[in-house]
Structure 1
Amino acid sequence: MAKILPFKAVRPTRDKVSLVASRSYQTYTQAEREARLDYNPFSFLHIVNPGYKYAREITGTDRYKLVRNRYLEFKEDSIFVHDAKPAYYIYKIVDRDHQVFNGIVAAASAEDYEKDVIKKHEDTIEYREHIFKDYLKTVGFNAEPVLLTYPDNNTILDIIKTIQTERAEFEFTTTYRDTHYLWKLEDESFIDTLKTEFENIPIIYIADGHHRSASSFLLYKNEKENNPEHTGEEPYNHFMSFLIPESELRIHEFNRLVKNLNGLSKEEFLIQLDTLFRIENRGIMPYKPSKKHHFSMYLDGEFYSLYLRKSLYNFETALDALDSQILYNTILKPILGIEDLRNDIRINYINGKKDIINVKDCIDNKEFAVGFGMVPVDITEMKKIADAGLKMPPKSTFIEPKLRSGVTIYEF
């Protein structure tokens, strides 16, 4: 029984939303960030990078306070306005590949997160959870929704399609050539229907945003413990989410890049792999696997296919059968000596939406020694792992859609 509620969003004005909206800060190169900060005074990047106006890097609590200041300035200058009534926000993205994503921006329950009504499939790093929790507590808002997914539901879909027949509140295209649309849903009968439909869904899954949801939960716990008059209705009881049906979720793989062969020669490495995989040299033609438990490898100017030997198909859990876990258990850890996938500087990741040639280029340029590819995780695998209370290795999924920051903001 999921509690998914409308809320009063803070939003840019219609004339400035395309200028305000930004990707996640980390996805910009330094040159891209500086161009936007230099020439776009309305970019949300000015809020999340408040030290730029002082030409210095500011970190920790000082940065959080300045983020809060920049945010309040955007409100004072009427770049942002606060909606008067709670609403659901119908959001549609048409990406440059003409894929369409339809969903609802709403407030999800931190209590549902605690009770596993909202299920997780990815592990998180504790110190990052606490850092972001402190950030949220100081700045007092969340501008990037957690991506949640729910089983396809015709009633919810019908309401979304009905609202989308009206003129969109926002419509803008990004430099990535993705077009974003937002409608505000305030009709009480539709709101009641959506609440009821979500209450009838027993489980909702986190698709993307595990650290954001974990940090929001920590904030909820902290505020609840320190509020003797806690009622459960306070804004900190919820966190902003974008909910889309499972059929519209797009899951890509992450390719792995490793800096060296852990002291092995090329021949020694291939011999060790032969114990576990059927290996075929594919030459210089790019190769991508098409089946579970099949992998691609690029090494010393050549592509290889690696097929896990069927005698090793003895999986006890859904996690054991996950290709990113198999790659870790068979190659990355025992042969290449990579224990910590999050923090070992010898490994890096490229999302599978990018061409396999990106992997080849990184190795040909001598930045890395070997690269591995796999097929994407599917939604069934993801749900099985979450249902079993297991966690995928980091960078097992690159999930779309990706929303822009600053289009809807949830205040605590």
Structure 2
Amino acid sequence: MATIRPFKGIRPIEELASKIAALPYDVMNSEEAREMVEGNPYSFLHIDRAEIDLDPSIDVHDKKVYEKARENLDRMIEEKQFIQDEKPCLYIYRQIMNGRAQTGLVFCASIDDYINNAIKKHEFTRADKEQDRINHVNYCDANTGPIFLTYREDEVTSEVIKQWSKEGTKRKPVYDFVSEDGIGHQVWVIDNELIVKEIVALFGEIENLYIADGHHRSASAVKVGLMRREENPNYTGDEEFNYFLAVAFPDNDLMVMDYNRVVKDLNGLTEEEFLNKVSEKFIITEKDEQVKPSDKHTFGMYLENKWYLLEAKEGSYNAEDPIDSLDVAILQNNVLTPILGIEDVRTSDRIDFIGGIRGIKELERRVHKDMKIAFSMYATEVSDIMNVADTNQVMPPKSTWFEPKLRSGLFVHKLK
């Protein structure tokens, strides 16, 4: 059962919310982050990517970066650019993209739920990325970025949450703005103790929460909590370090976009040889237009200025296996590895990945610029992620691309 808890959120004053809210730290590099904050001293990237306030030559993992992050956060709190709610609250965070809304509940999740697998995972994490966020959380003494969770929608729970933020009520959002990428952001504070208790109890009936995005942040937050437990052997379990910041959206609200592939070469094959090999496992149909797959087990392929539709043949995958039946696995197991010779997509320099938010034209552009072939994918579904997590397996690399991205800086959870 899911354990959630209200907290005294540290959040921006209303007039600065749109300036403080920033994309998560891991969707850009340092150079991009420096460009994004030009003219905006309030951006949360000054905390999440504090190296942007130091000399560009500095190692992003230098101790000075984490000290600067803490300094910036403490300063913004002292200067009252952030405020803290006086009592523990829950929060509603709604995002609107192209007229489509997703409504999540902001709370603190239990590190014990993570350890006991009540919060399920579907990705491996890397030690170096974990250590970076461990240092960041530890120095800031705070969870600065929310973990993106999902759950199988429960109508009663969703109705209670949505009633609080329903149009026409006297409860107005504390934040209501559109970010530079056109995404709308609205936040409500649930400060009614009876409603808070009701929602906490309703989530207690939900069997599992699932990490949609933020595996490194969640693993790091949990490890910091465990470190604090070692430092405080008489801990009671009620301390803030036993919990981490999260936003949970019902699965039916979420949109997973396609995560497409481009490859530099045909592994020494001619175009004819390559197509012959692909035809052993796929039905190939040449098309006069761009191919954006509309069904599972179908793929678009762009090669030599031509688009093709690939349809996986029977026997090219195991329909009963939650991993083998994923489109990313079908492409990997039948094309990328055996034909193109790409064994590990995480480490190969011959392959790149393009989020569906960039559009099909970006695949053509990359092939014309520096790649040889592109594959457009059918988007992985949230149910696929849950099915894999339920079997305690992991998704193949680069399987999911969630949009819109959660903004950091709207909520901060202090560990003391």
Match of 2:338 in 1: 334
Amino acid at match of 1:271: N
Kindly indicate whether the alpha-carbon contact (under 8 Å) linking 1:341 and 1:393 is maintained by their aligned counterparts in 2: no
Match of 1:378 in 2: 381
Secondary structure of 2:38 counterpart: helix
The correspondence for 1:92, drawn from 88, 91, 94, is: 94
Match of 2:215 in 1: 210
Kindly indicate whether the alpha-carbon contact (under 8 Å) linking 1:8 and 1:86 is maintained by their aligned counterparts in 2: yes
Q: Does 1:192 align with 2:193?
A: no
Amino acid at match of 2:251: E
Per-residue deviation at 1:68?
A: 0.7
How far, CA to CA, are the matches of 2:225 and 2:55 in structure 1?
A: 35
Match of 1:62 in 2: 64
Deviation string 1:263-301 (CA, Å, 9 cap, x unpaired) is 222222112212211112224x21122221111111111
Per-residue deviation at 1:54?
A: 4.2
How far, CA to CA, are the matches of 1:150 and 1:49 in structure 2?
A: 30
Match of 2:357 in 1: 353
Q: Does 1:228 align with 2:233?
A: yes
* Identical-residue share of aligned pairs (%): 35
* Structure 2 length-normalised TM: 0.93
Amino acid at match of 2:176: E
How far, CA to CA, are the matches of 2:29 and 2:139 in structure 1?
A: 27
Amino acid at match of 1:63: V
Per-residue deviation at 1:123?
A: 2.4
How far, CA to CA, are the matches of 1:157 and 1:385 in structure 2?
A: 24
Aligned residues: 409
Match of 1:37 in 2: 37
Per-residue deviation at 1:192?
A: 0.8
Match of 1:403 in 2: 406
Per-residue deviation at 1:31?
A: 7.7
Per-residue deviation at 1:28?
A: 5.0
How far, CA to CA, are the matches of 1:238 and 1:357 in structure 2?
A: 43
Match of 1:119 in 2: 120
Amino acid at match of 1:39: G
Amino acid at match of 1:217: V
Kindly indicate whether the alpha-carbon contact (under 8 Å) linking 1:170 and 1:182 is maintained by their aligned counterparts in 2: yes
Kindly indicate whether the alpha-carbon contact (under 8 Å) linking 1:144 and 1:409 is maintained by their aligned counterparts in 2: yes
Secondary structure of 2:163 counterpart: helix
Kindly indicate whether the alpha-carbon contact (under 8 Å) linking 1:86 and 1:186 is maintained by their aligned counterparts in 2: yes
Cα 1:210/1:53, change in 2 over 3 Å: closer
* Structure 1 length-normalised TM: 0.94
Per-residue deviation at 1:302?
A: 0.8
How far, CA to CA, are the matches of 1:154 and 1:277 in structure 2?
A: 41
How far, CA to CA, are the matches of 2:31 and 2:137 in structure 1?
A: 27
Per-residue deviation at 1:138?
A: 1.7
Amino acid at match of 2:191: E
Match of 2:256 in 1: 251
Q: What 5-or-longer segments of structure 1 have no aligned partner?
A: none
Secondary structure of 1:312 counterpart: coil
Per-residue deviation at 1:30?
A: 7.3
How far, CA to CA, are the matches of 1:316 and 1:94 in structure 2?
A: 36
Secondary structure of 1:16 counterpart: helix
How far, CA to CA, are the matches of 1:290 and 1:155 in structure 2?
A: 32
Q: What 5-or-longer segments of structure 2 have no aligned partner?
A: none
Q: Cα RMSD (Å) of the superposition? A: 1.8
Secondary structure of 1:280 counterpart: strand
Kindly indicate whether the alpha-carbon contact (under 8 Å) linking 2:317 and 2:330 is maintained by their aligned counterparts in 1: no
Amino acid at match of 2:129: R
Cα 1:312/1:177, change in 2 over 3 Å: closer
- More displaced stretch, 237-246 vs 31-40: 31-40
